[in-house]
């Protein structure tokens, strides 16, 4: 019964999504065909055609998928380093007062600075290559993960910690077998924000200085006054960002199964 109900709710949601996206595309199409809007912006058919052509052929020196791949690789490297450091530092700060006393004042100063403010420094420090971009993405993912991991470690139920002590867990085991898993839902909330912030940052970094990637693609489009290239880049950015968010949500569903009632 409930299963059938869930299914029908889900399919209604899917139908609504198709209708709303469809209506938007039709409006866009109609606007570019029938009004002055066509002078400012290419229609959806042209953009989709350009995306298709970019996948088969090339935009600049690479195909669109290769550009997306470059951007994604940068995000992955920076995101993985940043979130590992963020989780470790955040849990330590949330659980051990000494760690908080040492790192938190510094962290509080660094945290509100948007990652893109570091672009000039990163170029001076690391040059124009990959390192500077990875550094920026590291910053983008690091501060969000740290903040949420810290909140997670702070909110561990003290009675659960007592239970672990009663069962013979050492202080180190309490950190690794209790504080860490208990913080996973908070950590994931941080990783969600971190991944979208990383994705935004890589594009900004690529727009400043790069010879490939989706950020390069839209800036190159601007320099050549090529609206179709800009829009096909934006479409790809949206698609990749959407896929990243879905992957993160799936990972959370699997790892936080215990946190949800039912199945």
Told to check if 20 binds other proteins by CB under 8 A, we report no
Task: For the chain, report the end-to-end CA distance as a whole number of angstroms.
Answer: 15
| C-alpha closest to that of 40 among 190, 242, 228, 171 | 228
Is the Cβ–Cβ distance between 105 and 252 less than 8 Å? no
Q: Which is nearer to other proteins, 60 or 181 (CB)?
A: 181
| C-alpha closest to that of 259 among 105, 128, 152, 141 | 152
Told to check if 155 binds other proteins by CB under 8 A, we report no
Which of 39, 98, 168, 254 lies at the binding interface for other proteins (CB under 8 A)? 168
Give pairs for 164-172: CB < 8 Å, separation 24+: none
Binding mask 184-213 for other proteins (x = CB under 8 A): x-----------------------------
Told to check if 3 binds other proteins by CB under 8 A, we report no
Binding part of the chain for other proteins, among 4-12, 136-144, 158-166, 208-216 by CB under 8 A, reads 158-166
Is the Cβ–Cβ distance between 198 and 79 less than 8 Å? yes
Distance CA 217, CA 229 (A): 7
Told to check if 257 binds other proteins by CB under 8 A, we report yes
Binding part of the chain for other proteins, among 80-88, 104-112, 218-226, 254-262 by CB under 8 A, reads 254-262
Told to check if 176 binds other proteins by CB under 8 A, we report no
Told to check if 254 binds other proteins by CB under 8 A, we report no
Which of 2, 166, 223, 254 lies at the binding interface for other proteins (CB under 8 A)? 166
Told to check if 162 binds other proteins by CB under 8 A, we report yes
Compute CA 192 distance to the chain's CA centroid, rounded to the nearest angstrom: 6
Told to check if 109 binds other proteins by CB under 8 A, we report no
Look at residue 7 and give its three-state secondary structure.
Answer: helix
The binding site for other proteins (CB under 8 A) comprises 157, 159-160, 162-170, 173, 177-178, 181-182, 184, 257-263
């Amino acid at each position: 019964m409930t299963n059938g109900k869930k299914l029908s709710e889900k399919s209604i949601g899917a139908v609504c999504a198709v209708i709303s996206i469809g209506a938007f595309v039709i409006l866009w199409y109609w606007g570019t065909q029938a009004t002055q809007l066509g002078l400012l912006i290419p229609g959806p058919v042209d953009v989709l055609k350009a995306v298709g052509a970019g996948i088969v052929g090339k935009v600049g020196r690479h195909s669109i998928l290769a550009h997306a791949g470059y951007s994604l690789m940068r995000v992955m490297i920076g995101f993985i380093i940043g979130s590992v450091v963020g989780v470790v530092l955040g849990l330590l700060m949330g659980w051990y007062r000494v760690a908080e006393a040492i790192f938190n004042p510094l962290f509080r100063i660094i945290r509100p600075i948007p990652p893109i403010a570091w672009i000039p420094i990163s170029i001076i420090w690391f040059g124009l290559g990959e390192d500077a971009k990875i550094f920026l993405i590291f910053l983008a993912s690091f501060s969000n993960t740290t903040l949420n991991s810290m909140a997670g470690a702070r909110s561990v139920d003290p009675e659960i910690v007592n239970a672990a002590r009663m069962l013979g867990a050492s202080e180190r085991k309490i950190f690794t077998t209790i504080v860490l898993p208990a913080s996973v839902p908070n950590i994931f909330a941080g990783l969600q924000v971190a991944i979208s912030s990383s994705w935004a940052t890589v594009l900004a970094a690529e727009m400043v200085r790069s010879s490939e990637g989706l950020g390069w693609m839209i800036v190159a489009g601007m320099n050549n006054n090529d609206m179709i290239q800009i829009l096909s880049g934006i479409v790809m950015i949206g698609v990749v960002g959407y896929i990243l968010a879905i992957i993160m949500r799936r990972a959370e569903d699997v790892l936080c199964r215990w946190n949800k009632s039912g199945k």
